[in-house]
Structure 1
Amino acid sequence: MPLVTLREVCADAEKGGYAVGAFGVQNLETIQGVIEAAVEERSPAILIVSEGAIKYAGLKPITEIIKALAEQAPVPIVAHLDHGPSFEMATQCIVAGFKSVMVDASHYAYEQNVAITRQVVAMAHAVGATVEGEIGKIGGVEENIVVSDAEATMTEPEEAARFVQDTGVDAVAVAIGNAHGLYKGEPKLDIPRLKRIHDAVKAVAPDCFLVLHGGSGTPDHMIRDAIAAGVSKINIGTELKLAFVEGIRETLEKKPGVDDPRHLVAPARQKVKEVTRAKMRLFGSSGRV
């Protein structure tokens, strides 16, 4: 089926009491792994494409691969720009065929964050696309995004509500102790804070959805608590990268003389598929389509 918007899958998730996984993809095999898992699990899926993935694969090639495989899939698929750094990149992705983008201006002062995000919202909404913004600073490392522990700041419920009102975003990523990349220890998500953020945002924008970044490595019980507190989209990136590399490493260890690239990447694709399937079941999105 054709690509859908973030709003479409998140609205269903909120009604159903589950979350939709947003899975980081970089190439043909990771895209295949995620979409194959979605079809087999009868689950919606969000494919998140970073600035780094776009530089690696090219915007048009990676978009066309996602569109072609999504059109063959009988489940809703979202192509979503992850941590878009600018209005220009968000525009380029929507022109290329994305129905959803994230603009991340959270490293700026509040007023500039609002101004940049609102500009993207106006552009995207004019053509029927949806926008995710971010308020608060999520710590950790993800490709070109580096936020130290000292710089990371928790999202304040009142500021989140104000941000949503001021920008008109369809979804907002929040900082509640979550982090990009691998956690140094066991993460401690502030679920009571998340509940307050949810209530504050819904009071002013009932159609805005909450997003949890840094889902990789988060204990299952915390994921379930976050969904119960109102999260509708959960990002998984690092675990898929690690799974892909593990698949290649295992193949080389078992068959060091392999000379066909397909024999390397096929097992890696299967590893991505397995992780994706497990996350869909954890998030409660399996069997929803």
Structure 2
Amino acid sequence: MSLVSSTPLLRAARAGGYAVTAFNVHTLEMLQAVVEAATELDAPVILQSTMGTVQHLGEDFIVAAARVAAARTHVPVALHLDHCTDFGMIARCLRAGYTSIMIDASMKPYADNVRDTRRVVELASEIGVNVEAELGKVGGVEDDISVADHEATLADPDECVRFVAETGVPTLAPAIGTAHGIYKGDPNIDFDRIGRIASKVDVPLVLHGGSGIPEEQVKRAISLGMAKMNVATELRIVFTDAIKKVFAEKPGVDDPRHYLKPAKDALREAAKEKIRMCGAVGRASEAVLR
């Protein structure tokens, strides 16, 4: 199967009451593990790369690896550029073959966020690529983007209606109390706000900061309208801890295959857990037919 736009995947998820899990990957092994997990569970999946990962690996290498992975599975796979603030990088990733783009102008004034988002929507819609945008400010650290707790602001439901109408954006990531990274305590998710936003806009909603949210809270957010959940930090920790374990037990290991395989295996299991949590098991054909 070829890489697909995340638009039909997320519309099917919202209509079906589940969420597509989107995983930030930084190496070939991470990418392979995520697609293998989705394949085992017959679930749609979204591969994500940050600006830093694109700068590190190159968009052409990432697209090539994602295309091979998608061709080897029967489940729909989308490739998403996460939290991008650079229009030049967005254009390069679109040319390279990304099938989903997040323009993050949430740090700017509302009017500027609308302007920048509409510009990307106009460009991406011509080639059938999904666009995601953020309203409000999600706290925590995502790659090089850092938002202090006191700077985080929640999305206003009525403003969400205006934003979607003024930009035409097909996917919205409203700030509802989650944070990027691992939570120091319990997440302070505003579930009432999710419900009010979902009742006012008909586009799929995205739950950012999915690492470490308790399962019951994830399921509640999905039941209220979240159709995509992003997971990044937890994957990195699982992957890195597995490598550390190999070196702790066998300090003399110098063959990358001997420490990357356990890391890949651990990440695959972690990805499967998140896919199950989002209720996407067995939804692959449903998402394709949407």
Please classify the TM superposition score into its range, dividing by the shorter chain length. Answer: over 0.9
Shift of residue 88, structure 1, vs aligned partner:
1.8
User: What's the secondary structure of 1:150's corresponding residue?
Assistant: helix
State how 1:212-251 maps to structure 2 within 5 Å: 212-251=207-246
Q: Matches of 2:67 and 2:55 in 1, distance apart?
A: 18
The Cα offsets for residues 88-144 of structure 1, whole Å up to 9 and x where unpaired, read as 221111100011100000000000000000000000001111100110000001110
Give the match for residue 74 of structure 1.
Answer: 74
1:87 Cα shift? Answer: 2.2
Find the aligned partners of 2:204 and 2:84 in 1 and give their Cα distance: 18
Query: Is 1:4 matched with 2:4?
Result: yes
Paired position in structure 1 for 2:287: none
Q: What TM-score comes out, normalization by structure 2 length?
A: 0.96
Unmatched 5+ residue regions in structure 2?
Answer: 285-290
Q: Which amino acid aligns with 2:277?
A: L
* Alignment correspondent of 1:84: 84
2-structure distance, mates of 1:121, 1:276: 30
- Distance in 2 (alpha carbons) for counterparts of 1:287 and 1:77: 14
Would the aligned equivalents of 1:87 and 1:119 in 2 still touch at CA under 8 Å?
no
Q: How far does the alpha carbon of each residue in 1:148-192 deviate from its partner, in whole angstroms, 9 at most, with x for none?
A: 011100000001111111101110101111000111211121101
1:262 paired to 2:257: yes
Report the Cα distance in structure 2 between the residues aligned to 1:49 and 1:187, rounded to whole angstroms: 24
Q: How many residues align?
A: 284
Q: Deviations over 1:61-85 (max 9, x none)?
A: 1111111111111100000000011
In structure 1, what is the Cα distance between the partners aligned to 2:223 and 2:175? 17
Aligned ranges for residues 111-130 of structure 1 at < 5 Å? 111-130=111-130
Other structure's SS at 1:140 match: strand
* Amino acid paired to 1:275: A
Q: Deviations over 1:223-270 (max 9, x none)?
A: 001000000000000000001101101111121111211111111111
Question: Counterpart in 1 of 2:105?
Answer: 105
Q: CA deviation at 1:15?
A: 2.2
Q: Distance in 2 between matches of 1:15 and 1:113?
A: 28
In 2, distance between residues paired with 1:198 and 1:12?
15
Letter paired with 1:280: I
- Matched letter for residue 272 of structure 2: R
Partner Cα distance (2:129, 2:87) in 1: 14
CA distance in 2, matches of 1:52, 1:149: 23
Asked if 2 retains the 8 angstrom alpha-carbon contact of 1:214 and 1:236, the reply is yes
TM-score normalised per structure 1: 0.97
How far apart are the structure 1 equivalents of 2:137 and 2:184?
Answer: 17
Question: Would you say 1:252 and 2:247 are equivalent positions?
Answer: yes
Contact conserved, 1:18 with 1:285, CA < 8 A, in 2?
yes
RMSD: 0.8
Q: Where does structure 1 differ by over 3 angstroms across 4 or more consecutive aligned residues? A: none
